[in-house]
């Protein structure tokens, strides 16, 4: 009987899919959730061209075992991100990249409202011991200098308050560059997303490495 049990156990292991054995050997991947709007959802792009997919490929190429989840919703504001946060946290991420605020700026919504929503999101994530990378956004110029100054200041002030890493401007080097944007002049094309990924990767690597040191 003991020999039969040993044989069945060995037979079961041999039949177990190779990828499952590899996953156990390597450990579970670090799960990074991207909470954002159309800039991360991949508006006008194929799924594999969107920011989360390109970021995952980049991180794997540099030797990190990760799964990057696309939880961007086109048209979403900071209020929308806040409203659906508990639902997306069902994915049980290890870290969250917050990319919200572009639509707040386009609609001229109050900077204090933006601050309150992002503050609430960050507070929930910190309470759950989920690492956070905050990405900044800049207000469009059509609402005036005062509005822009108040809007743009939200991100560094929250990063300082919560001691978070901040990627200062999500569209750095891409905004207003025709060759890196789609015809609407707002959303990055695949090349534009690739540039964003290249620039933000060092910040994400520090985020991942910080998890390993906890």
Q: What is the pLDDT of residues 7-29, one digit of tens each?
A: 434 434 333 343 333 333 457 89
> pLDDT category, 193, cuts 50, 70, 90?
very high
The burial of 113, by beta-carbon neighbours within 10 Å (0-12 exposed, 13-18 middle, 19 or more buried), is given as middle
**Cα 199-212-204 angle, rounded to 5 deg:** 10
**Considering the domain boundaries, does residue 175 fall inside one?**
yes
Q: Which residues are catalytic?
A: 38, 184, 187
> pLDDT category, 212, cuts 50, 70, 90?
confident
Q: What is the pLDDT of residues 91-135, one digit of tens each?
A: 999 999 999 999 999 999 999 999 999 999 999 999 999 999 999
For residues 79 and 119, the answer to whether their CB atoms sit within 8 Å is no
For residues 100 and 36, the answer to whether their CB atoms sit within 8 Å is yes
Instruction: Compute φ and ψ for 129, nearest 5 degrees.
Output: 60, 40
Q: Which of 37-46, 133-142, 204-213 is least confident?
A: 204-213
**Considering the domain boundaries, does residue 161 fall inside one?**
yes
What is the distance, to the nearest Å, from the Cα of residue 134 to the centroid of all Cα atoms in its chain? 9
**Considering the domain boundaries, does residue 40 fall inside one?**
yes
Quick one: pLDDT at residue 19? 36
Quick one: pLDDT at residue 158? 98
How far apart are the C-alpha atoms of 212 and 214, rounded to whole Å? Answer: 6
Q: Which CATH number is 114's domain given?
A: 3.40.50.1110
**Considering the domain boundaries, does residue 13 fall inside one?**
no
More confident position, 200 or 22: 200
For residues 122 and 98, the answer to whether their CB atoms sit within 8 Å is yes
Quick one: pLDDT at residue 8? 39
Q: What is the pLDDT of residues 165-182, one digit of tens each?
A: 999 999 999 999 999 999
Quick one: pLDDT at residue 27? 73
Query: Tokens 């929308």 correspond to what residue?
Result: 80
**Considering the domain boundaries, does residue 81 fall inside one?**
yes
How far apart are the C-alpha atoms of 103 and 137, rounded to whole Å? Answer: 10
Q: Range of 136's domain? A: 28-212
Quick one: pLDDT at residue 214? 67
pTM of the predicted structure, to 2 decimals = 0.87
For residues 39 and 170, the answer to whether their CB atoms sit within 8 Å is yes
Quick one: pLDDT at residue 72? 98
Which residues have CB under 8 Å from 140's CB, separation 6+?
105, 106, 148
Q: What is the pLDDT of residues 144-164, one digit of tens each?
A: 999 999 999 999 999 999 999
**Considering the domain boundaries, does residue 1 fall inside one?**
no
Structural domain total, the chain: 1
């Amino acid at each position: 009987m003991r020999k039969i049990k040993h044989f069945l156990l060995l037979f079961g292991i041999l039949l177990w899919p190779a990828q499952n054995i590899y996953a156990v050997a390597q450990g579970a991947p670090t799960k990074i959730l991207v909470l954002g709007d159309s800039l991360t959802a991949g508006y006008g792009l194929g799924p594999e061209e969107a920011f989360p997919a390109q970021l995952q490929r980049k991180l794997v190429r540099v030797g990190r075992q990760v799964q990057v989840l696309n939880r961007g919703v086109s048209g979403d504001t900071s209020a929308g991100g806040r409203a659906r946060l508990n639902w997306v946290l069902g994915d049980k991420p290890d870290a969250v990249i917050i990319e919200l605020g572009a639509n707040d700026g386009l609609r001229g919504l109050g900077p204090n409202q933006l601050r309150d929503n992002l503050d609430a999101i960050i507070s929930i994530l910190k309470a759950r011991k989920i690492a956070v990378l905050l990405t900044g956004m800049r207000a469009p110029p059509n609402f005036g200098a005062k509005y822009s100054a108040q809007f743009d200041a939200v991100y560094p002030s929250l990063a300082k308050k919560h001691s978070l890493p901040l990627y200062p401007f999500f569209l750095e080097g891409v905004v207003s560059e025709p060759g890196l944007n789609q015809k609407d002049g707002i959303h990055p094309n695949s090349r534009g997303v690739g540039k964003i990924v290249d620039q933000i990767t060092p910040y994400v690597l520090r985020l991942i490495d910080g998890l390993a040191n906890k």
